[in-house]
């Protein structure tokens, strides 16, 4: 069965420090992975997807199939990065359609 | 373009009461979803609708029913609320469900408390 694991509930860093939010997945098919972010009192929004290989707000994430990981990284954290971050995996439902399964989330707190 | 809207934003129910959470999207998306978000549990899929006229169970459907009223609207009903259904409920939509990857767009959430 598909599973997304985010081992850290909370990650606290100082402004300017590097950040790495960990995500590991388990899926028998070809994985398609995303990072979603939820700022305080706001809705979830897509941060980035692995197939785009893009950098959004200074964040990057590389899919490592050997380690089944999709860690989110940023070299210099900013206070405005403080938010809840969710790693998500697309998987196929019994009906044949697909949807997302989410990790439990990691709260990132960036202190001045 | 409002995106995905949800009503109400907050609701307090007593055990056994019923209510319907409303969701609408104006992006002409085919697929819609209902999730619940609980501390330490992340988001879990309750029901989804791949297209207008179809609905299917997700990971945690017990105690809920849904209706895809039309392409825009997807409602979630609690027939007899229980304290275990205290949660934040998110509705989401996406352009197409068959061919991934496709981004899901989320509503602002409904915070429900059942006493």
DSSP class of residue B80 equals S
pLDDT digits (tens, 9 = 90+) for B32-67: 999 999 988 889 999 999 888 899 998 899 999 999
Would you mind telling me the total number of residues written for chain B in this entry? 115
Number of Cα atoms under 13 Å in the Cβ half of residue B18? 7
Å from B81 to nearest chain A CA?
Answer: 24
- Mean pLDDT score across all residues of chain A: 90
Mean pLDDT value across residues B12-39:
95
pLDDT digits (tens, 9 = 90+) for A48-80: 887 777 778 999 998 998 999 999 999 999 999
> Which residue in chain A has the smallest CA separation from B9?
A41
pLDDT at A24 over 90: yes
Closest to A51 (Cβ–Cβ): which among B44, B101, B109? B101
Characterize the bridge pairing of strands B110-114 and B10-13.
parallel
Give the confidence band of A10 by pLDDT, cuts at 50, 70, 90. very high
SS (HEC) of chain A? CCEEECCCCEEEEECCCCEEECCEEECCCCCCEEEEEECCCCCCEEEEEHHHCCCECCEEECCECCCCECCEEECCCCHHHCEEEEEEEEEECCCCCEEEEECCCEEEEEEC
Whole-angstrom distance, CA of residue B2 vs CA of residue B9: 15
> Which residue in chain A has the smallest CA separation from B36?
A102
Q: What is the pLDDT of residue B51?
A: 85
Q: Phi and psi for B8 in degrees, rounded to 5? A: -80, 175
Q: What is the pLDDT of residue A31?
A: 84
Is A93 in Cβ contact with B56 (below 8 Å)?
yes
Structure tokens at B25: 């999207």
Q: What is the pLDDT of residue A55?
A: 79
Is A45 in Cβ contact with B108 (below 8 Å)?
no
pLDDT at A3 over 80: yes
Looking up tokens 């860690």 gives A71
Closest to A102 (Cβ–Cβ): which among B4, B43, B107? B43
- The three-class DSSP label of residue B94 is strand
Mean pLDDT value across residues B5-29:
96
Give the confidence band of A20 by pLDDT, cuts at 50, 70, 90. very high
> Which residue in chain B has the smallest CA separation from A84?
B42
Q: What is the pLDDT of residue B33?
A: 94
Give the confidence band of B101 by pLDDT, cuts at 50, 70, 90. low
């Amino acid at each position: 069965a598909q599973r997304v694991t985010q081992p850290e509930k909370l990650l606290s860093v100082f402004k300017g420090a590097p950040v790495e939010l960990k995500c590991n997945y388990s899926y028998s098919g070809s994985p398609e992975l995303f990072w979603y972010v939820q700022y305080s009192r706001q809705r979830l929004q897509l941060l980035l997807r692995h197939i785009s290989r893009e950098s959004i707000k200074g964040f990057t994430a590389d899919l490592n199939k050997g380690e089944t990981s999709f860690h989110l990284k940023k070299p210099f954290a900013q206070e405005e990065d403080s938010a809840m971050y969710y790693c998500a995996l697309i998987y196929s439902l019994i009906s044949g359609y697909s949807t997302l399964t989410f990790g439990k989330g990691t709260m990132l707190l960036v202190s001045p | 373009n409002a995106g995905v809207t949800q009503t109400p934003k907050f609701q307090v129910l007593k055990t056994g009461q019923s209510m319907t959470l409303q969701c609408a999207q104006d992006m002409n998306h085919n697929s819609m979803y209902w999730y619940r978000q609980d501390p330490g549990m992340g988001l879990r899929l309750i029901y989804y609708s791949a297209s207008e006229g179809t609905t299917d169970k997700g990971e945690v459907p017990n105690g809920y029913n849904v209706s895809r009223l039309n392409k825009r609207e997807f409602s979630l009903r609690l027939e007899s609320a229980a304290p275990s259904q205290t949660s934040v409920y998110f509705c989401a939509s996406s352009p197409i469900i068959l061919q991934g990857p496709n981004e899901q767009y989320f509503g602002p959430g409904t915070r429900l408390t059942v006493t």
